[in-house]
Amino acid sequence: MKITEKKIKEERVAYIPHMGSYDKIPELIAEVGQWLNDKGFKMTGLIYGTYFNSPDNVSEDKLQYEIGFGFEGKITTMQEGKIGIKEIPEHTVLAAMHKGPYTEVGPVIHAVIDYALKNNYDIVGPISEAYLNNPLETPEEELLTEVRIPVIKIK
């Protein structure tokens, strides 16, 4: 598995925060995408999940995450219903690719964390996953997920 350090450019996103089972992820993706379409915004291609805790540490009903889309366009509000809007600043991540079912991404996450710890990086934020193809059009074994962990290099 190849793990690389890379810069992620600043991005405006629409997102929904959620607490509970990961089973809601497809529904949340559809909801954010539909909201952007209804508002006439142009999506940039980024579809992501950011995960603030882990099923290794909390029960399913306590899982905290957000699902969002990058988009272009002017907007004056930072919240509309349960849709939030924010700017994610440019940042550095360690990234690795996972090919296959979303439910099998765990070993990639652990490998990136281990790499960070062994190579003098501080992890400075929650794990994100960028979803690079459409699960409605792609066989599960062909799904591509880029695992991203925000870091700073320790000198």
Q: Residue 17 maps to which CATH number?
A: 3.20.80.10
Tens-binned pLDDT, residue by residue, of the chain (155 aa): 999 999 999 999 999 999 999 999 989 999 999 999 999 999 998 999 999 999 989 999 999 999 999 999 888 788 888 999 999 999 999 999 999 999 899 999 999 999 999 999 999 999 999 999 888 788 999 999 999 999 999 87
Where does residue 45 fall: left (phi above 0), alpha (psi -120 to 50 degrees), or beta otherwise? left
Domain holding 103, by residue range, is 3-153
CA angle (21, 10, 109) in 5-degree steps: 40
Number of domains in the chain: 1
The two structure tokens encoding residue 110: 């652990």
Q: Is 148 helix (H, G, I), strand (E, B) or coil?
A: strand
Structure pTM?
Answer: 0.91
Label residue 33 exposed, middle or buried (CB < 10 Å: 0-12, 13-18, 19+). Answer: middle
